[in-house]
Structure 1
Amino acid sequence: METIRERRWLVVVLLALGLMISFVDRTSLSSALADRAFIREFGLNSIERGWLNSAFFWSYGLVQMPMGWLVDRYGVKWPYTICFTLWCGAAAATGMVGTLWALILMRLLIGVAEGVVVPATYRYLANNFAESEKGTALGIFSIGGKMGPALGAPIGAWIIVHHSWQAMFIATGLAGLVWLWPWLTQVKNDFPSQQELAERVQRAASVPLRNLLASPVVWGGLLNNFCYAYFNFYCMTWMPAYLVEQRGLSLEKSGLYTFFSFAGIAVVAALAGWAADRLIARGRDAVMVRKTFIVAGFIGATTVLLGAYAQTLEMALFWNVASLSLLGLVTANNLALCKLTLIPKPAVGLNTGLQQVATSLAGGVSASLSGWLLHTSGSYETPMKAIFIFLLLGAASTIILFRRQWAPKISG
């Protein structure tokens, strides 16, 4: 029994590392877009930078539900393996292109391949973890999503400064392939037999898409994931440029402060998930505990506006780090609540894919809308006002829509 427990948590660590690599590859572009040589080479304005930043999210969102369907039926190991290899290859190939349209194509390909990451992870957690363990598991998993940009930003900036943007894409893309060896050797094959596949199809059909769309809980999750991701992806796509262009930092220093922000949210996310699990294990209501953490995180993150209007560089950097770190109170608890706690087990993959559509839509809207707001206003304060509004909407959605009686129904 102990061996099984150890293997479960090992797989969670591998899933977190896979997520980290995916975020390094999806956010490496943000370092390039803060590099004047890269901008000159492709002749980019702020709106075109927004298009480039958003391209990944449109294809990523398009495949989320198909990927949820795929892992519900065919397991986690082999779909993940194939997609992982494809996105690392596309990330490395980005360093070899010479036109804007080729750049956009590579971003679209990365988005398609990375679409497997989250649905596969939630399928694995639903199959292997109890309610009082999910917050901790998701806290560990979410560290990967935060440490990806935290490490990717300074490493990417360093490679660009000391070598070139081409070398940065090639190096970060190919380095991730090292992860495949422990994944292939340590994770058991869960590809189903014909009999198992028939059983999985029958189970998945017990909670059809119409049942999900009829649930206020699912719509609350869509709102929450959009609002959370809007701020999170703004920081991934525009933070280096903001620190360079509005706060006057060098590209290398902008990477360092991007690291602090994402390291902060990673630590808070892990601690908040663990703390919620401990409260639930002591008999507290899981829904109420997780809702409390989520609302506190959304409200705490609104301090981003204090950074926007700060008069000194020191205070701007402080609130830049603090606001994103406080959003970590939302991370694991929101993931558990809207994708596991209130969702019937047979529908976890499909619902996760549906929720990820909102997440990816937020990434596309955040990257492109922020670029447009910056272009029209000439200041980063306007994009941050939009973030403030979405954070308040997320808090309201959590309070109103997450109720047990509104969870999706299993068809008889």
Structure 2
Amino acid sequence: METHAKAVALPPQALPGRPAATAPAATGPMQGAGMWTVLGLLMLGLMISFIDRTSLSSALADKHFIQEFGLSNVDRGLLNATFFWAYGLMQLPMGWVVDRYGVKWPYTVCFAAWCLATAATGAVTALAGLFVMRLIVGACEAIVVPASYRWIGSHMGEQHKGLAAGILSAGGKFGPAIGAPIAAWMIVTWSWQAMFLATGLLGLLWLLPWLGLVRNDLPDPQQLVVSKAYAAQVSFGSLMKSPVIWGAMVNNFCYGYFTFYCMTWMPAYLVEQRGLSLKDSGLYTFFSFAGIAIVATLAGWIADRLIAAGRDAVLVRKAFVVAGFVGGSTVLLGAHAATLDGALFWNVLSLTLLGLATANNLALCKLTLIPKPAIGLATGIQQVATSLAGGVSASLSGWLLERSGGYTLPMQVIVLFLVIGALNTIVLLRPKWSPRIDG
């Protein structure tokens, strides 16, 4: 008996310098206020994810929490790293899911799961339970970045991508900026158990506007055939042959190493080496992450305006990325500062200056240089490197602290990676080395 395969019409190729491919109907473009409203929800979702992932850092600076579980510096580093190992392991599967099955419902399920796991951390009484809850939170939060950039890539043009990436990334910075002082206040006022319960359950409120305002992009059976064929235009193998993908992974690692150090070890550094109270450490963590969020958004918007005026998109974004990596290297001045005021000044300024790189690195590596059919998968690949940075930063910094007895050596390693990131941006992130789609 003869069989005939049904032909599926695919969108045109989407490469840097060519018109972008048109997404399947389920994820067609939005216009006006609705587009920015959904972007705002994605930003809030990312912010909540960072509040939940960094809530443990405040607990790890609390002596009662440390005594409850008998934690050493190495234990603290491993606990922070556990989230990132699970987060990294699930990046590729989550990128694959959103490329084929849409953003709304996979994101909804994962969001609810990680919020409940965060709340359940407050009921844990054994160290093994802490590790399990962090594994769940990390695995479920892996959906956030691939889903968010998949949505942006399908709905926004190049003239909006820098600002969109800046607004989205602000959620990742305001998360710890807001979460650190609130978590510290809750721990001091009530307990670490109450802090985990509150941060987890309150986050669930985000689901109300998300479910009500974001349209269903889960494909029907016919759309699913088109969506799978569309996503399959770019294979994993073809992506991994691209120097841009490897360059993007290096950049994500170098950038993430510094930011995740600040998220996981900054509260402990300010309390243990600079003598601040837990409440005050939360306040200065707020200033640092609020600074990077504001600068990231402004830098993305300025880059967009330069590109709209006719400047080369890749060169503009690369210039901002290099400037951000160089500016972030001033963290070492804080490590060697003789006074508390000097240490706090450089601590805040270095992370703030890194904001010059934030939005433009995201736009460059996840959108500008990536074919639209592969944004979810390519973002997932890059997020593996980001997750690796979190795990290495948390655990290596704990080991270096244990070996050296201070925070200077961990900060020197940060500067090394920032220099590598700046050089990598110049050398590897070139349009001619962007991934090519199959077909």
Q: Same fold (TM over 0.5)?
A: yes
1:164-183 pair list within 5 angstroms: 164-183=191-210
1:152-171 pair list within 5 angstroms: 152-171=179-198
Residue aligning to 1:115: 142
Residue aligning to 1:73: 100
Q: In the alignment, does 2:230 pair up with 1:231?
A: no
Q: In the alignment, does 2:432 pair up with 1:405?
A: yes
Residue aligning to 1:382: 409
Query: What is the distance in 1 between the residues matched to 2:183 and 2:35?
Result: 32
Residue aligning to 2:110: 83
Match of 1:33 among 57, 60, 66: 60
Deviations 1:121-177 (A, max 9, x none): 011001100001001111111111000000000000000001000000000110101
Match of 2:241 among 204, 214, 217: 214
Counterpart contact for 2:121–2:196, Cα < 8 Å: yes
Q: In the alignment, does 2:405 pair up with 1:373?
A: no
Task: Report the identity percentage.
Answer: 67
* Alpha-carbon shift at residue 29 of structure 1 (Å): 0.4
Match of 2:372 among 338, 341, 345: 345
Residue aligning to 2:156: 129
1:315-354 pair list within 5 angstroms: 315-354=342-381
Query: What is the distance in 1 between the residues matched to 2:425 and 2:30?
Result: 38
Q: In the alignment, does 2:159 pair up with 1:140?
A: no
Query: What is the distance in 2 between the residues matched to 1:195 and 1:80?
Result: 22
Match of 1:202 among 198, 216, 229: 229
Match of 1:5 among 10, 32, 46: 32
Deviations 1:293-335 (A, max 9, x none): 0000000100000000000000100000000001111111000
Residue aligning to 2:7: none
Task: Give the TM-score, by structure 2 length.
Answer: 0.93
Matched positions, count: 411
* Alpha-carbon shift at residue 196 of structure 1 (Å): 1.1
* Alpha-carbon shift at residue 3 of structure 1 (Å): 8.3
Structure 1, 39-48 or 192-201: larger mean CA deviation = 192-201
Counterpart contact for 2:30–2:155, Cα < 8 Å: no
Deviations 1:352-375 (A, max 9, x none): 000000000000000000000000
For structure 1, which runs of at least 5 residues remain unmatched after alignment? none
RMSD: 0.9
Q: Which protein is bigger by CA-based radius of gyration?
A: 2
Q: In the alignment, does 2:278 pair up with 1:246?
A: no
Query: What is the distance in 1 between the residues matched to 2:106 and 2:168?
Result: 19
Q: In the alignment, does 2:276 pair up with 1:256?
A: no
The letter for the 2-side match of 1:163 is W
Query: What is the distance in 1 between the residues matched to 2:116 and 2:198?
Result: 11
* Alpha-carbon shift at residue 4 of structure 1 (Å): 3.0
Greater fraction of residues in helix = 1
The letter for the 2-side match of 1:225 is N
The letter for the 2-side match of 1:223 is V
Query: What is the distance in 1 between the residues matched to 2:31 and 2:320?
Result: 31
Deviations 1:193-250 (A, max 9, x none): 1111111111112110111111111100000000000000000000000000000000
Query: What is the distance in 1 between the residues matched to 2:201 and 2:68?
Result: 24
Counterpart contact for 2:51–2:175, Cα < 8 Å: yes
Residue aligning to 2:388: 361
